[in-house]
Amino acid sequence: MQYSQKVLDHFMKPHNVGKIEKADIEATEGSPACGDQVSIYLNINEETNVIEDIKFQSYGCASNIATGSIITDMAKGKTLEEAKKITWKEAADALDGLPPVKMHCSVLAVDTLRKAIKKYEIKQGLIPEEKFSKKTIVEELKKVIYPGVGEDIVTLKMVKYIGFEDGIVTIDVEIPKFDKYRDNVAEEIKEHLESYEEIKDIKITL
């Protein structure tokens, strides 16, 4: 697999690695695509909402470690508002690109940062706790990367229908019968959604 020099540099000497013992907030996320995990720890200035310290621990692959390193660099010194706008594409670009099948690794790192920020904002009463809705499903589907091109299935307009009624999620995805990633995509959709207690069943039509 072809990695950029920047990915290799951040993988070999990652920045901001470790745990903040007295972190204001921490979040851990796992990737349904590969089972890897990343944790992010934040210390935030209560007056200014600036991220003063940030560290990460990765139990993932080289791309995940490199993305953890670059996004913690990118987020340090930023306000929460600025940091939550960092996208996985920006992180991948800052690493001079990632192979398409590895894009989910940068999604995982960025998603964990966003989760930590959201947890902090809820804890501080800055935002209300979000209720589960169709929007939640769309947000989860935006994390499902089609490995063939390294882009999410919502942006690629592969999702044709989303329904949610009586705890049953119905999703229609357009993907050719002969596509080798068909089963991976279906599996990943399920794994992203099944942790929500509001969901009782997931029906995917491919």
Q: How far apart are the first and last CA of the chain?
A: 29
Residue closer to ligand FES, measured from CB, 88 or 120: 88
Residue closer to ligand FES, measured from CB, 24 or 36: 36
The count of other CB atoms within 10 Å of the CB of residue 2 is 7
Instruction: Identify whether 34 is a catalytic site residue.
Output: yes
Q: Do 76 and 54 form a contact (C-beta atoms < 8 A)?
A: yes
Q: Do 92 and 102 form a contact (C-beta atoms < 8 A)?
A: no
Candidate ranges 4-12, 56-64, 113-121, 156-164; the one touching ligand FES (CB under 6 A): 56-64
Which H, E and C letters describe 79-141, residue by residue?
A: EHHHHCCCCHHHHHHHCCCCCHHHHHHHHHHHHHHHHHHHHHHHHCCCCCCCCCCHHHHHHHH
108 binds ligand FES (CB under 6 A): yes
CA distance 181 to 67: 24
| # of chain residues touching ligand FES (CB under 6 A) | 10
147 binds ligand FES (CB under 6 A): no
**Which of 51, 75, 105, 159 is the catalytic position?**
105
Q: Do 25 and 118 form a contact (C-beta atoms < 8 A)?
A: no
Interface with ligand FES (CB under 6 A), residue from 39, 64, 69, 72:
64
Instruction: Identify whether 61 is a catalytic site residue.
Output: no
In angstroms, what is the minimal distance from the CB of 62 to ligand FES? 8
Candidate ranges 71-79, 102-110, 176-184, 195-203; the one touching ligand FES (CB under 6 A): 102-110
**Binding site residues, ligand FES, CB under 6 A:** 31, 34, 36, 60-61, 63-64, 102, 105, 108
Catalytic residues: 34, 105
